[in-house]
């Protein structure tokens, strides 16, 4: 009898406390479901917005809806992955209920972590593939498209937009004052673009010396008076700062939504794994199927 008890105890102690097979299965299922639900969300999101005024969701409503949907996707996919990780695990015997509860919870949590890494890797690989394919297909046109989409170039174009109140300065002296040899306006625009990107990258604003120089260029190129040119420069700088601030706020909100999705996903996976473990260790009685108690 003592030899039998010692043998059972030794067998229980040598069994691994973690089942990587069930964890991998749950993680793959959660990652696949996450990608499928995200693809569905992209389709629903594109169908709910419209470029026409008065139709579709507003920008703030769309961002909030997208964040809530991201959390729901994380909860649903993580719960299914955690449930599979707990339900498919090999049943342990001769273990206290507290230890079984802990191991089921750990299996759900590790399955969620594995699925998160798989999803991030899959999305990163897909994005890299799409970007590299587009760059190879477009070729030389990619550089021109990138320059056209650069917000800094847009702000520089706004600075040198012709003044509607009067004719632009077109005399040779005006061209020389604008710093454009031979009256070529592209030289001044390129110079201001370099100053703009360098100063905004360093301090999110034009330095006082660069700002005064840009005001002189704008006045010479557009035919504006000095106060009008200074007002235009200030207005464009304010617009650029507002756009940067909106982008920062949007990134912050996205980070908060992603954090909430990860936290709720981890909790759902752990809880679902316990539920799967209860069903795995349950038994049939004369009154029907009885799940294993939680504790």
Q: Look at residue 170 in the predicted model and tell me its pLDDT.
A: 46
Question: What pTM was computed for the model?
Answer: 0.69
Mean pLDDT of 17-31: 89
Q: Look at residue 42 in the predicted model and tell me its pLDDT.
A: 79
Q: Look at residue 126 in the predicted model and tell me its pLDDT.
A: 55
Q: Look at residue 272 in the predicted model and tell me its pLDDT.
A: 93
Mean pLDDT of 44-50: 70
> Is the pLDDT assigned to residue 10 strictly greater than 80?
no
Q: Look at residue 150 in the predicted model and tell me its pLDDT.
A: 72
Strands 283-285 and 288-290: antiparallel
Distance CA 269, CA 115 (A): 10
Say how many CA atoms lie within 13 Å of 207 toward its Cβ.
10
> Range with the lowest mean pLDDT among 54-58, 189-193, 232-236?
54-58
Contact 34, 119 (CB under 8 A): yes
When mean pLDDT is compared over 92-101, 150-159, 196-205, 224-233, the highest value belongs to 224-233
Query: What average pLDDT does the chain have?
Result: 76
Q: How confident is the model at residue 39 (pLDDT cuts 50, 70, 90)?
A: confident
> Is the pLDDT assigned to residue 230 strictly greater than 50?
yes
Q: Look at residue 250 in the predicted model and tell me its pLDDT.
A: 83
Instruction: Look up residue 15 and give its two tokens.
Output: 């069994």
Region of 45 on the Ramachandran plot (φ > 0 left; ψ -120 to 50 alpha; else beta): alpha
> Range with the lowest mean pLDDT among 3-7, 23-27, 31-35, 230-234?
3-7
> Is the pLDDT assigned to residue 74 strictly greater than 70?
yes
Residues in CB range of 161: below 8 A, 6 or more apart? 222
Instruction: Look up residue 78 and give its two tokens.
Output: 């993580």
Q: Look at residue 5 in the predicted model and tell me its pLDDT.
A: 43
> What is the SS3 assignment for 284?
strand
What's the CA angle centered on 101, arms 269 and 6, to 5 degrees? 140
> Is the pLDDT assigned to residue 38 strictly greater than 90?
no
Contact 107, 23 (CB under 8 A): yes
> Range with the lowest mean pLDDT among 80-84, 114-118, 246-250?
246-250
Q: Look at residue 85 in the predicted model and tell me its pLDDT.
A: 92
- Tens-place pLDDT, residues 61-72: 778 888 899 899
> What is the SS3 assignment for 283?
strand
Contact 62, 53 (CB under 8 A): no
The H or E element containing residue 288 is strand 288-290
Q: Look at residue 112 in the predicted model and tell me its pLDDT.
A: 94
């Amino acid at each position: 009898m003592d030899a039998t008890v010692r043998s059972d105890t030794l067998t229980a102690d040598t069994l691994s406390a973690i089942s990587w097979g069930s964890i991998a299965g749950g993680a793959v299922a959660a990652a696949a479901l996450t990608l499928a639900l995200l693809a569905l969300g992209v389709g629903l999101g594109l169908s709910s917005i419209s470029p026409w005024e008065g139709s579709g969701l507003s920008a703030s409503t769309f961002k909030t809806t997208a964040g809530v949907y991201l959390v729901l996707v994380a909860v649903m996919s993580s719960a299914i992955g955690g449930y599979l990780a707990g339900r498919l695990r090999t049943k342990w015997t001769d273990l206290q209920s507290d230890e079984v509860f802990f191991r089921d919870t750990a299996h759900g949590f590790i399955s969620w972590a594995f699925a998160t890494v798989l999803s991030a890797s899959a999305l990163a690989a897909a994005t890299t593939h799409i970007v590299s394919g587009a760059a190879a297909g477009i070729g030389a046109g990619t550089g021109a498209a990138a320059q056209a989409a650069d917000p800094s170039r847009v702000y520089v174009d706004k600075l040198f937009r012709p003044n509607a109140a009067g004719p632009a300065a077109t005399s040779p002296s005006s061209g020389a004052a604008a710093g454009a040899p031979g009256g070529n306006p592209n030289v001044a625009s390129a110079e201001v673009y370099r100053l703009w990107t360098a100063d905004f990258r360093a301090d999110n604003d034009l330095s006082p010396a660069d700002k005064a120089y840009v005001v002189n260029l704008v006045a010479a190129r557009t035919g504006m008076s000095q106060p009008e040119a200074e007002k235009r420069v200030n207005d464009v700088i304010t617009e650029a700062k507002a756009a940067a601030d909106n982008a920062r706020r949007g990134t912050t909100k996205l980070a908060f939504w992603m954090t909430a999705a990860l936290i709720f996903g981890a909790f759902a996976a752990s809880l679902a794994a316990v539920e799967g473990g209860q069903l795995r260790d349950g038994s049939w009685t004369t009154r029907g199927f009885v799940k294993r108690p939680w504790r």
